Amino acid sequence: MTRTWVALLPAAPADADRATPVEVEGEGPAVLVTWTGKHHPHPQARAIDPRMVGEDGPDMSASWVELNDDEQPLFDAPEVLEARRTLLRQWPDYGASTLVSDSVRLAGSVLLGSPGSRFDDDPFARFGSRKRLRTSGMFVSVPAPTGPALERYAGAPWPYDRFD
């Protein structure tokens, strides 16, 4: 199945489909890189809800959680389910996606909001280190999923909600 992959890297690899500069709070500039394809394109690449990646997205703040292999809980672990329920109760201004690298585990998350959003209550921040980003152009706004369904569809990163 074709996926949209994203990674936060110091510099863009040559095979990337797109690379967009971002500012990482406390660290400085970096790039958000995307690929489209069936295969995992980079060790740090994570699959993202494809609806969130688009052209000419507005200025946004993002809460970016990226989990190393040894930090990744099962996607269906109770604490991950509760984090998804929390998002369904209070959807971020511009959207959110879990990040996955396989069909079993949670590999991170990204929450999107208007510039200045701090995401102090990001329910995924408890799972690993969180970075705050300023970005423009890469992400587009995605409204809340219908709910209350929480399951992944054919291994896609939640909240993508089709079996195609």
Minimum gap (Å) between residue 146 Cβ and other proteins: 4
Whether the CA torsion 117, 118, 123, 128 is positive or negative: it is positive
Residue 150 Cβ vs other proteins, minimum distance, rounded to whole Å: 4
- Buried b / exposed e along 60-79 (16+ C-beta atoms within 10 A): bbbbbbbbeeeebbebeeee
Place of tokens 């993508």: 160
CA 110 – CA 48 distance, rounded (Å): 9
CA distance linking residue 14 with residue 10, whole number of Å: 13
Nearer to other proteins, 13 or 147 (CB): 147
Instruction: Considering the complex, state which of residue 19 and residue 144 has its C-beta at the smaller distance from other proteins.
Output: 144
Q: Give the chain's length.
A: 164
**Interaction of residue 78 with other proteins, rule CB under 8 A:** no
Among 58, 137, 144, 155, binds other proteins (CB under 8 A): 144
Residues 88, 105, 130, 134: which binds other proteins (CB under 8 A)?
88
- State the amino acid at position 133 in one-letter form: L
Select from 19-27, 53-61, 125-133, 141-149 the region that touches other proteins (CB under 8 A). 141-149
Q: Which is nearer to other proteins, 2 or 90 (CB)?
A: 90
Residue 157 per-residue DSSP state:
P
Which of these ranges, 22-30, 57-65, 123-131, 143-151, lies near other proteins under the rule CB under 8 A? 143-151
Question: One-letter amino acid identity for 147?
Answer: G
Site for other proteins in 103-132 (CB under 8 A): none
Task: Among 82, 85, 102, 121, indicate the residue that binds other proteins (CB under 8 A).
Answer: 85
Give, in degrees to the nearest 5, the angle at Cα 75 between 71 and 80.
Answer: 85
Write out the residues near other proteins by the rule CB under 8 A: 85, 88-91, 93, 143-144, 146-151, 153, 161-163
